[in-house]
């Protein structure tokens, strides 16, 4: 189905159909749309083009709705997994996200939608029997052109295999590869000055990191006072994603937004990506209606003008996050003011993996560091109310203006949990 051009999405997008290896334009016609609420009907024969499109598949949602993915606005696209709704978005490319000065938004100018191949039984397949759809896209902006190929497979998880080829017109030192965009307003660890009856409001609650060295880390998202950038340097990362781990209605108490049904999206590189960093941008927001979180891969070397730069990766739109089942995951982060000194007290909950199920947890040890100030009284203990393990500690930052913290749990056999990461700022 197609989106009509209008007040918000005014850019023209051309649609083509590829059948048997041959491409033909798919013509705009007013008869493809319903015009209501006094909207004028364009004259027949006009060629307005489209604003974007969405894909559907049978049996994709518990309530009978069958929407799978949509491509609408600049180079934005998003998808759902079975039983979930829309949430965060992906983009073809990010240029200057969160940096001083205007951000450039490349646009998908045209799409080519492949029809299913022949069944091999003497008749053509129909879309009803297809397991995947192939979409090609032309990216364009003043700084870069690009060609994208998406192989989209709906299911319990909806999976995009992406083959992106970029052709910069100028050197790009701050390009964002496989960018994800989401919304985070507040949760239990940053409710200061929040006057809201709900316990949490966000499309994503953390950044998952799967490093090239094999470390799994979780960085809870924040709504900072000013724009903040975090770079997690790596070589040949295994993946990263903006995920939604809280999956109960009680976590949000919002019957309208349904934040517990927002998907996470994990990026899985399909080739070695070399040196660079997973870059996280957190932008202040006073409401839940604007995306304020961006995560992407920033290669160490600039993308040089006049060359082809190829990136292959897989996007997993999912309710899970793809981490190692042998490691305990961070399931909650909470913080509050210290009553005796400047600083914060933290409670970090871990669950799953190889953590002891009983109270005999003498073998569970905390490994915790802080880049500045003093991190005191770090202790791990079992929380019998939740059946999880909790780490409590206190941070006294002293004169520092920013403190990077990391901690994980170890046992006699080695690491028991993923690494928890966070930043304190005044």
What string of DSSP letters covers 330-364? EEEEEEEE-SSSSSEEEEEEEESTT--SSS--TT-
Apex 57 CA angle, 56 and 59, nearest 5: 130
Which of 14, 424, 380 has its CA nearest to residue 190? 424
122, pLDDT greater than 50: no
Which of 390, 286, 280 has its CA nearest to residue 345? 390
376, pLDDT greater than 90: yes
Distance from first CA to last CA of the chain, Å, rounded?
48
Q: How do residues 33-46 score in pLDDT, each as one tens digit?
A: 999 988 889 988 88
Q: For residues 93 and 105, what is the distance between their CA atoms, to the nearest angstrom?
A: 8
Mean pLDDT of the chain: 92
More confident residue, 124 or 321: 321
Q: How do residues 232-251 score in pLDDT, each as one tens digit?
A: 999 999 999 999 999 999 99
119, pLDDT greater than 70: no
**266 touches 90 (CB < 8 A):** no
Instruction: Please name every residue paired with 70 in a beta bridge, in sequence order, or none if there are none.
Output: 54, 78
pLDDT for 60: 59
> Which residue carries 């192939």 as its tokens?
134
Give the CATH number of domain 329-424: 2.60.40.10
Q: For residues 172 and 296, what is the distance between their CA atoms, to the nearest angstrom?
A: 15
pLDDT for 123: 42
pLDDT for 64: 53
pLDDT for 362: 63
125, pLDDT greater than 60: no
Instruction: Delimit the CATH 2.60.40.10 region(s) of the chain.
Output: 329-424
Instruction: Please name every residue paired with 71 in a beta bridge, in sequence order, or none if there are none.
Output: 53, 77
Instruction: Delimit the CATH 2.70.98.10 region(s) of the chain.
Output: 51-106+126-318
Q: How do residues 332-360 score in pLDDT, each as one tens digit?
A: 999 998 876 788 999 999 999 989 876 65
pLDDT for 45: 81
Q: How do residues 193-221 score in pLDDT, each as one tens digit?
A: 899 999 999 999 999 999 999 999 999 99
Percent of the chain with pLDDT over 90: 78
Handedness of CA 97, 98, 103, 108 (dihedral sign): positive
φ/ψ region of 258 (left if φ > 0, alpha if ψ in -120 to 50, else beta) reads: left
CA atoms within 13 Å, Cβ hemisphere of 327: 22
The residue-averaged pLDDT of 85-99 equals 95
pLDDT for 361: 54
Distance set, CA 105 to CA 63, 96, 389 (Å): 35, 9, 44
Q: Where does the pLDDT of residue 121 fall: very low under 50, low under 70, confident under 90, or very high at 90 and above?
A: very low
Residue 343's Cβ-count burial label (10 Å; 0-12, 13-18, 19+) is buried
Give the right CATH number for 51-106+126-318 from 2.70.98.10, 3.40.50.150, 2.40.50.140, 1.20.1250.20.
2.70.98.10
């Amino acid at each position: 189905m197609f989106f009509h051009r209008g007040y918000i999405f005014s850019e023209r997008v051309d649609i083509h159909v590829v059948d048997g290896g041959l491409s033909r334009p798919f013509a705009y016609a007013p008869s493809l749309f319903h015009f209501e609420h006094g909207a004028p009907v364009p004259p027949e024969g006009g060629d307005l083009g489209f604003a974007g499109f969405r894909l559907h598949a049978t049996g994709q949602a518990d309530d009978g709705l069958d929407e799978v993915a949509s491509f609408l606005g600049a180079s934005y696209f998003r998808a759902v997994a079975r039983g979930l709704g829309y949430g965060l978005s992906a983009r073809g490319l990010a240029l200057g996200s969160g940096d001083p000065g205007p951000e450039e938004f490349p646009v998908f100018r045209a799409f080519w939608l492949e029809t299913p191949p022949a069944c091999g039984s003497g008749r053509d397949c129909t879309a009803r029997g297809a397991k995947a759809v192939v979409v090609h896209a032309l990216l364009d902006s003043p700084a870069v052109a690009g060609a994208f190929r998406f192989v989209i497979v709906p299911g319990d998880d909806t999976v995009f295999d992406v083959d992106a080829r970029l052709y910069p017109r100028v050197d790009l030192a701050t390009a964002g590869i496989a960018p994800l965009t989401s919304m985070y307003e507040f949760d239990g660890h940053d409710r200061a000055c929040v006057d809201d009856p709900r316990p949490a409001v966000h499309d994503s609650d953390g950044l998952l990191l799967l490093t090239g060295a094999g470390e799994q880390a979780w960085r809870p998202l924040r709504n900072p006072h000013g724009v903040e950038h975090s770079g997690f340097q790596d070589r040949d990362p295994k993946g990263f994603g903006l995920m939604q781990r809280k999956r109960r209605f009680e976590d949000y108490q919002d019957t309208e937004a349904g934040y517990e049904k927002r998907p996470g999206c994990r990026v899985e590189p399909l080739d070695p990506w070399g040196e660079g960093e997973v870059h996280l941008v957190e932008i202040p927001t006073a409401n839940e209606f604007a995306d304020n979180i961006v995560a992407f891969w920033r290669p160490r070397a600039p993308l040089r003008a006049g060359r082809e730069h190829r990136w292959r990766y897989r996007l997993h739109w999912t309710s899970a996050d793809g981490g190692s089942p042998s490691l305990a995951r961070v399931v909650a982060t909470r913080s509050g003011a210290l009553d005796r000194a400047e600083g914060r007290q933290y409670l970090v909950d871990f669950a799953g993996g190889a953590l002891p199920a009983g109270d005999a947890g003498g073998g569970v040890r905390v490994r915790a560091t802080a880049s500045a100030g003093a991190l005191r009284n770090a202790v791990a203990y079992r929380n019998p109310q939740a059946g999880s393990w909790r780490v409590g500690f206190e941070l006294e930052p002293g004169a520092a203006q920013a403190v990077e913290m990391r901690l994980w749990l170890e046992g006699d056999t080695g690491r028991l949990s993923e690494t928890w990461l966070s930043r304190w700022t005044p």
